[in-house]
Amino acid sequence: MAERPADRLKKVREERFRTAAEAQRAIGVSYPTYAAHENGSREISRKFAIRYASFFRIRLDWLLTGSGEPRATGAIQRLFDELPTDLQLEAVRYLEYLKTTRNMPLNAGATTAQPKAVTELSRSGDRRGRALRP
Protein backbone atom coordinates (compact mmCIF):
# COMPACT_ATOMS: atom_id res chain seq x y z
CA MET A 1 0.00 0.00 0.00
CA ALA A 2 1.30 3.48 -0.89
CA GLU A 3 2.34 5.70 1.95
CA ARG A 4 -0.12 8.53 2.64
CA PRO A 5 0.60 12.05 3.92
CA ALA A 6 -0.78 10.88 7.28
CA ASP A 7 1.82 8.09 7.38
CA ARG A 8 4.62 10.52 6.57
CA LEU A 9 3.39 12.93 9.26
CA LYS A 10 3.40 10.14 11.83
CA LYS A 11 6.86 9.03 10.73
CA VAL A 12 8.44 12.46 11.31
CA ARG A 13 6.48 12.96 14.54
CA GLU A 14 7.85 9.70 15.95
CA GLU A 15 11.40 10.99 15.39
CA ARG A 16 10.83 13.78 17.95
CA PHE A 17 7.81 12.89 20.07
CA ARG A 18 6.54 9.71 21.67
CA THR A 19 2.86 10.60 21.32
CA ALA A 20 0.63 12.64 19.04
CA ALA A 21 -0.51 14.63 22.09
CA GLU A 22 3.07 15.78 22.78
CA ALA A 23 3.47 16.85 19.16
CA GLN A 24 0.17 18.72 18.94
CA ARG A 25 0.98 20.69 22.08
CA ALA A 26 4.41 21.66 20.72
CA ILE A 27 2.99 22.61 17.31
CA GLY A 28 0.08 24.51 18.82
CA VAL A 29 -2.85 22.78 17.10
CA SER A 30 -5.82 21.08 18.70
CA TYR A 31 -5.52 17.40 19.49
CA PRO A 32 -8.57 16.35 17.42
CA THR A 33 -7.18 18.16 14.36
CA TYR A 34 -3.67 16.77 14.69
CA ALA A 35 -4.86 13.24 15.47
CA ALA A 36 -7.21 13.27 12.47
CA HIS A 37 -4.36 14.40 10.21
CA GLU A 38 -1.99 11.77 11.57
CA ASN A 39 -4.46 8.87 11.42
CA GLY A 40 -5.72 9.89 7.98
CA SER A 41 -9.36 10.45 8.88
CA ARG A 42 -9.03 14.09 7.74
CA GLU A 43 -7.04 15.29 4.74
CA ILE A 44 -4.19 17.64 5.64
CA SER A 45 -5.01 21.09 4.26
CA ARG A 46 -2.27 23.18 2.67
CA LYS A 47 -2.35 25.53 5.68
CA PHE A 48 -1.62 22.70 8.12
CA ALA A 49 0.83 21.01 5.76
CA ILE A 50 2.90 24.21 5.67
CA ARG A 51 2.75 24.44 9.45
CA TYR A 52 3.82 20.81 9.91
CA ALA A 53 6.59 21.06 7.30
CA SER A 54 7.97 24.17 8.98
CA PHE A 55 7.76 22.72 12.47
CA PHE A 56 9.32 19.34 11.60
CA ARG A 57 11.74 20.94 9.11
CA ILE A 58 10.69 18.73 6.26
CA ARG A 59 9.99 19.49 2.62
CA LEU A 60 6.35 20.37 1.92
CA ASP A 61 6.24 18.37 -1.32
CA TRP A 62 7.57 15.30 0.47
CA LEU A 63 4.89 15.56 3.16
CA LEU A 64 2.10 15.96 0.60
CA THR A 65 3.29 13.65 -2.20
CA GLY A 66 6.15 11.55 -0.87
CA SER A 67 8.45 12.67 -3.69
CA GLY A 68 12.13 13.11 -3.01
CA GLU A 69 13.78 13.20 0.37
CA PRO A 70 12.05 14.37 3.56
CA ARG A 71 14.61 17.03 4.35
CA ALA A 72 16.21 19.57 2.06
CA THR A 73 19.93 20.08 2.17
CA GLY A 74 22.24 22.79 1.02
CA ALA A 75 22.97 26.43 1.64
CA ILE A 76 19.38 27.67 1.42
CA GLN A 77 18.19 25.12 3.96
CA ARG A 78 21.01 26.05 6.34
CA LEU A 79 20.07 29.73 6.07
CA PHE A 80 16.42 28.90 6.66
CA ASP A 81 17.29 26.73 9.68
CA GLU A 82 19.23 29.62 11.25
CA LEU A 83 16.16 31.89 11.20
CA PRO A 84 13.96 32.17 14.29
CA THR A 85 10.64 30.32 13.96
CA ASP A 86 8.58 33.48 13.46
CA LEU A 87 10.80 34.52 10.53
CA GLN A 88 10.64 31.01 9.08
CA LEU A 89 6.84 31.25 9.04
CA GLU A 90 7.04 34.70 7.44
CA ALA A 91 9.45 33.34 4.80
CA VAL A 92 7.08 30.48 3.99
CA ARG A 93 4.17 32.92 3.66
CA TYR A 94 6.23 35.16 1.39
CA LEU A 95 7.28 32.23 -0.80
CA GLU A 96 3.62 31.20 -1.09
CA TYR A 97 2.80 34.79 -2.09
CA LEU A 98 5.51 34.73 -4.76
CA LYS A 99 4.31 31.39 -6.06
CA THR A 100 0.73 32.64 -6.47
CA THR A 101 1.71 35.92 -8.14
CA ARG A 102 4.63 34.98 -10.40
CA ASN A 103 2.46 34.08 -13.40
CA MET A 104 0.17 37.09 -13.03
CA PRO A 105 0.47 40.23 -15.18
CA LEU A 106 2.32 42.98 -13.33
CA ASN A 107 -0.75 45.17 -12.82
CA ALA A 108 -2.86 42.23 -11.56
CA GLY A 109 -0.51 41.60 -8.64
CA ALA A 110 -0.86 45.16 -7.39
CA THR A 111 -4.08 44.43 -5.50
CA THR A 112 -2.81 41.22 -3.89
CA ALA A 113 -2.07 41.55 -0.17
CA GLN A 114 1.61 41.31 0.60
CA PRO A 115 3.09 39.63 3.65
CA LYS A 116 3.44 41.91 6.68
CA ALA A 117 7.26 42.12 6.48
CA VAL A 118 7.15 43.28 2.85
CA THR A 119 4.52 45.90 3.62
CA GLU A 120 6.45 47.20 6.64
CA LEU A 121 9.72 47.37 4.69
CA SER A 122 8.10 49.27 1.86
CA ARG A 123 6.75 51.84 4.34
CA SER A 124 9.92 52.27 6.36
CA GLY A 125 12.62 52.07 3.71
CA ASP A 126 15.71 49.91 3.75
CA ARG A 127 18.22 49.62 6.60
CA ARG A 128 20.05 52.77 5.48
CA GLY A 129 16.87 54.86 5.65
CA ARG A 130 16.34 55.03 1.90
CA ALA A 131 12.75 54.78 0.75
CA LEU A 132 11.87 51.62 -1.12
CA ARG A 133 9.53 51.40 -4.06
CA PRO A 134 5.93 50.46 -3.12
Give the global pTM.
0.54
- String of b and e for 29-51 (b: at least 16 CB within 10 Å)? beeeebbebbeeeeebeeebbbb
Q: Give the per-residue pLDDT at 127.
A: 45
Q: Give the per-residue pLDDT at 85.
A: 84
Spatial contact of 54 and 92, defined as CB atoms under 8 Å apart: yes
The fold of 5-65 is: 434 Repressor (Amino-terminal Domain) (1.10.260)
Query: Half-sphere exposure of 30 toward its Cβ, with a 13 Å CA cutoff?
Result: 3
| Sign of the dihedral defined by the CA atoms of residues 63, 69, 75, 78, in that order | positive
Blockwise average pLDDT, block size 10, the chain, 134 residues? 86 93 94 95 93 91 86 74 86 86 57 44 44 44
What are the sequence ranges of the domains in the chain? 5-65, 85-124
Q: Give the per-residue pLDDT at 105.
A: 54
Q: Give the per-residue pLDDT at 47.
A: 92
